[in-house]
Structure 1
Amino acid sequence: MTQVRGRFAPSPSGRMHLGNLFSGLLAWLSVRRSGGVMVLRMEDLDPDRCRREYAEQLADDLRWLGLDWDEGYGLGGPHGPYLQSQRTELYQAAFQKLEGQGLVYPCFCTRAERLAASAPHRSDGQVIYTGKCRCLTEEEQREKSANRCPAWRLMVPDREMSFTDGLQGPYSEHLERDCGDFIVRRSDGVYAYQLAVVCDDGAMEISQVVRGRDLLDSTPRQLYLYERLGLRPPAFYHVPLLLAPDGRRLSKRERDLDMGALRRRFTPEGLTGLLAFWAGQLDKPEPAVPGELAGVFDWRKVPAGDITVLPELLEA
């Protein structure tokens, strides 16, 4: 049996919050339960938001909780570098491969134009791009390039893309209708998350991806990229989101329960036990250590639906 290779790939754009930690713990437990290899990668694509000091703090917070890793940030390994900002050549090569297949095209639309020319929004509010720039002639592209640097989109086919998630079950999207042509390189030259994450997980031989349920609808697009780039996709497990009592998703932007506050209020064992309780691994929130939980971790006990974080449970 091939050894499981899992990863935790946070963005060092601020302090981790409780939701990040929940996904990270489940990823770690799943890998350790199977005796696999854990990789820590920093997804620092955005130069305006990501900082090295955040990456250092993130690594320190993981060590504080008792979540170690076998290769990756700070350790190195055979698949480095483990900072996305240092992997641009890999993304460029993938972009050129897609370009050689005639699948990418420049998009000159402003945000306002994208909204005006979009298909009806999906139920989650996502705009579906209708392909306005897909049929521009080379002359029209040159004219527009004189005034605006384009983003680059991947042309998707009229095709259903389906997979079975390890926690959420069967999931399917029609690429053209539900996703639309999506950006693989921004107008500032930064490669988009969808392309980078596929390149990285493929190159690092990741076989299991555990991440938040909010990324479930990204998976069909990524599976299409895996296919076009000739890479083997991993198994996916999309875990529930942690919600505030008013229904808001916990986020870095609003500084909900970040690790600075959590470390002042909890011991590592206390916080681990609370997260494990929410994940269905404990009958009640009581102190626990990750190493002990790994031996009895069971995906069948993890709830599929989102979890409301009750304030009284955070009174350490």
Structure 2
Amino acid sequence: MITGSIVALATPMDSNGEVQFDALAALVQWHIASGTSAIVSMGTTGESATLNAEEHIAVIRKTVEAADGRIPVIAGTGANATSEAIELTQSAADAGADAALLVTPYYNKPPQEGLYRHYRAVAEAVDIPQILYNVPGRTGCDLQPATVQRLAELPNVVGLKEALADHDRIRTLVGLGLPGDFALYSGDDPTACDAMLAGFHGDVSVVANVVPEIMARMCKAAVAGNADEARAADAEMADLHQLLFVEPNPIPVKWALNAMGRIGAGIRLPLVPLSETHHDRVRAALRAVGALQ
């Protein structure tokens, strides 16, 4: 089981929107040195929605190569068509990914039985560990705990990333009596510390992109149940938890990484660079945690 800080890695791009593979490899090295437990490649933060299938798999492959077995790489392979999700998941497995992260099918709003059959079809088609991903605010559907419990019975469905920032949902999931090797991951940085102290196993984090060492320290303490240490580390990131979401992810975090000199300024339409109104506040929050001089 993967535990701790799992960075939802941003995809570096130049000003023309072309992927910067050298910068990508450098980000991977930085995360390994900073204590990040695993990398999600081609999730929402990686701009999976705007890369074509060839680019999508190329980024996963290059991330796997850069990690070189030192930490796991989890590939984002969700789609709103089950056949496409199967193809992406198989391609990610062929590229060497250690696991796949599959967002709930977006836009078409399937019922719970449709979600169950979708995930079961992918799990049966591709022999790779698979993590469910629930983010109703982006997809328009909510993977309910009872459906998670059904899916957890499938041998290669190994976890859930839950991005619904709801304490009742967190308590419900922890109390389901899921298999002991089934992992629960927060997908919401502001509530991740509380979720891990309640029994979650890690955080798939946007904020880890800019402060990987602090996030790794917080997650390690929270998973171990060291509440005071975890909350102290979490408090260091409180401003970032808010400011890196002042516009839709990954707009603020890509701006921050560019300001830190780690990636180019590129982001793909329909996303646009962070509004200048927020620059000073984000810059100040980065300076406060030592991420920017």
Query: TM over 0.5: same fold?
Result: no
Question: Which structure has the larger Rg over C-alpha atoms?
Answer: 1
**TM-score normalised by structure 1 residue count:** 0.29
Question: Would you tell me which structure has more helix in proportion to its own residues?
Answer: 2
